[in-house]
Structure 1
Amino acid sequence: MPADLVSVLSEHACELGEGPSYDPVSDTLYWFDIVNGLLLEKRFGEDRTMTTQLGQMASAQATIDGERHLILTETGLHVRDRTTGGMALHTPVEATNAATRSNDARVHPCGALWFGTMGKQAEAGAGRVYWFFRGELRELYAGVSIPNSIAFSPDGTIAYYADTAVGRIMRVACDARTGLPEGEPKVFAGSPSTGSFDGSVVDADGTLWNARWGEGNLVAYAPDGELVRSVPLPVSQPSCPAFLGKHADRLAVTSAWIGLSDDAHRAEPDAGRTFLVDLPVKGRLEPDVLI
């Protein structure tokens, strides 16, 4: 892949960049530095990256409507006013458990939100995957160490998720009307030779794009699980992709420098930055979440 198709979108180096989401209303990419409690915003056409200290770990955002976002934090789901930045807790999730935090999330085509929690030190089996829809919260899967790769087929009949510590992306049939799983999950992709499965997003053709943490690649899987593409990135720890642009025809990818030795960090000056991948993809804009 020509090197000029991957460029730095934001110079801000996150310790643990995650949860990118594009808002077509404001033409803005949002993402988080989880461990430092930062919300980052990059409006296209502007050079600067805005940062907001949230006062707690946060990892994902979804659009509610033209005035509000839903933000996933270590204490639960919060409604944030777009204009004032004010936040109010909407639904507590593990709010009294100081040992866990939020991680990956994605909105199902019907408007339901799937999201994961995990131990702040990635303790084995400390996390869960939840479903939230129209005010109702349900636990879907328990005993998860590092929930990631939550994504959905375009028609909403398939859900994907992964436990990064286990090294498998799972696939499960889904009710397109509610986003609830039906039946038992089955392995979709597993045991990468190097690296680990981190965040994913599914395009309009059903291809799943996954950030391969530790390997420095953005990889693509066809709906049947065949690995069809691998795009090298200038960092070893890419964390999550998102489609962006009014036509969702490009990809942003967050990354992290957490865990790198001093020597490795010096050798990887772009670690933690957010990248633009100029691929001719047929992406999808995220649906609004129904709270």
Structure 2
Amino acid sequence: MEQVPTSVLSAEPCHLGEGPTYDVATDTAWWFDIREGRLFEAHLGTGSIRVHPLGRMASALGRIDAERQLIVAEDGLYIRNIGDGAMALFCPLEADNPVTRSNDARVHQSGTFWIGTMGKQAERGAGAIYAFHRGKISTLFPGISIPNSICFSPDGATGYFTDTARAVLYAVRLNPATGLPRDEPEVLLRHTGIGGLDGSVCDADGQIWNACWGASRIDVYSPQGECLRSLSVPAKQASCPAFVGPDLSRLLVTSAWQDMDAAARADDPQAGCTFLLEASARGRAEPDVKLA
């Protein structure tokens, strides 16, 4: 386990921190507290942090342009105005299903948005992974319990995802121009030991940086599924990483105190905090989502 220099970006504990992303143009990191319906905004250069109440559970966002974001929420996709925080429903998603909410999501290089849903109580098989492509939503993979690790190879030709409940990371061949699957998913690796596969992001070398929920670490895998590095995180339930900073070499990691009783939280005092790891990564900037 590597111990890299680590700092606390936000000490405000998230019930379920998730969905971090970074806007290089404004040096701003964004992430969510899903359970509490909060969106965090952190300007890394100044250390300024704002928390925006959303009025609903939400889990991820894609940048549309300098003024707008597409928010993935429990009942659909919302366009959010960055300036004043105003949100307008753009496209419903499972809005008629009170059992589910959104979870992991990421934008493909083509502008297609992969979006995962799951049961609010992690009901088995209640969720799915969808693609928002050219203004329409289609189902990619149904019957998912806990969708996570959605990310894409640098050339856009491979997509990755996991169902955390199955402890399997899948790879699927994609059309790089559309971000849509060309084949059925194949098993890249089976996770064993402590913890579970949670959120992931893919770097410029095609390596997959995965938050190992319940194990206080980030694991780095090769495109062939070999574990190359493990970096310590000062909270047990690390949930999702994102590359941040002007050269995208640092790693932002969200965490959670979900399902912890008082004793467990006392033993894990930084549970729910958001961290910055000096990871010496070769990160990549996130692409913008395309609405049409």
TM-score (norm. length: structure 2): 0.97
Q: Which residue of 2 aligns with 1:174?
A: 174
Shift of 1:3: 4.5
Q: CA deviation at 1:63?
A: 0.4
Query: Aligned equivalents of 1:66 and 1:111: distance in 2?
Result: 15
Q: Counterparts in 2 of 1:15-54, with a 5 A limit?
A: 15-54=15-54
Distance in structure 2 (CA, Å) of the matches to 1:188 and 1:229: 17
SS of the residue aligned with 2:242? strand
Percent identity, aligned pairs only? 50
Q: CA deviation at 1:25?
A: 2.3
Partner of 2:253: 253
State the match for 1:217 in structure 2. 217
Moved more, 3-12 or 180-189: 3-12
Aligned alpha-carbon RMSD (Å): 1.1
Conserved in 2, the CA contact under 8 Å of 1:63 and 1:288?
Answer: yes
Q: Spell out structure 1 runs of 4+ moving beyond 4 A.
A: 1-4
More moved, 132-141 vs 197-206 = 132-141
CA drift at 1:264? 1.3
Q: Which residue of 1 aligns with 2:270?
A: 270
2:63–2:289 CA contact under 8 A, matched in 1? yes
- In structure 1, the residue matched to 2:66 is 66
Query: What secondary structure sits across from 1:263 in the alignment?
Result: helix
Aligned-partner Cα distance in 2 for 1:77–1:47 = 29
Asked if the contact 1:12–1:49 (Cα under 8 Å) also holds between the matched residues in 2, the reply is no
Partner of 2:133 in structure 1? 133
Q: How does 1:119-268 map to 2 (within 5 A)?
A: 119-268=119-268
Equivalent-residue separation in structure 2 for 1:24 and 1:47 (angstroms): 15
Residue-by-residue CA offset, 1:230-258 (whole Å, 9 max, x unaligned): 01111110000001112211110000011
8 Å CA contact 1:220–1:230 kept in 2: the answer is yes
Partner of 2:150: helix, strand, or coil? strand
After superposition, the C-alpha distances for 1:96-121 in whole angstroms (9 at most, x for unaligned) are 11111000001101110001000000
State the distance in 1 between where 2:27 and 2:48 align: 14
Q: Partner residue of 1:93?
A: 93
Tell whether the 8 Å contact from 2:191 to 2:197 is kept in structure 1 after alignment.
Answer: no
Q: How many Å separate the matches in 2 of 1:268 and 1:225?
A: 30
- Name stretches of at least 5 consecutive residues in structure 1 with no aligned partner: none
Partner of 1:189: helix, strand, or coil?
strand
2: distance between equivalents of 1:105 and 1:22?
Answer: 14
* 5+ long unaligned stretches in structure 2: none
Shift of 1:279: 1.3
- 8 Å contact kept, 2:198–2:212: yes
- TM-score, normalised with respect to structure 1: 0.98
Deviation at 1:46, TM superposition (A): 2.8
Aligned counterparts of 1:25 and 1:77: Cα–Cα separation in 2: 24
Whether the aligned pair in 2 keeps the contact of 1:20 and 1:31 (CA below 8 Å) is yes
1:192 deviates by 2.1
Mapped contact 1:252–1:275 kept (Cα < 8 A): yes
Q: Distance in 1 between matches of 2:238 and 2:45?
A: 24
Taking the aligned partners of 1:236 and 1:119, their CA distance within structure 2 comes to 23
1:157-208 per-residue CA deviation (whole Å, 9 max, x = no partner) reads 0000000011001000000010001111111111321100000000000000
AA at the equivalent of 2:84 = T
In structure 1, how many angstroms separate the alpha carbons of the residues matched to 2:4 and 2:73?
Answer: 35
Distance 1:49 1:257 in 2: 20
2:2–2:230 CA contact under 8 A, matched in 1: no
One-letter amino acid of the counterpart of residue 86, structure 1: A
Letter in 1 for 2:25: V
| C-alpha displacement of 1:48 | 3.8
Contact between 1:74 and 1:101, CA under 8 Å: does it hold in 2?
yes
Q: Would the aligned equivalents of 1:153 and 1:202 in 2 still touch at CA under 8 Å?
A: yes
| DSSP-derived class of the 1:183 partner | coil
SS of residue paired to 2:166: coil
SS of residue matched to 1:236: coil
SS state of the match for residue 94, structure 1? coil
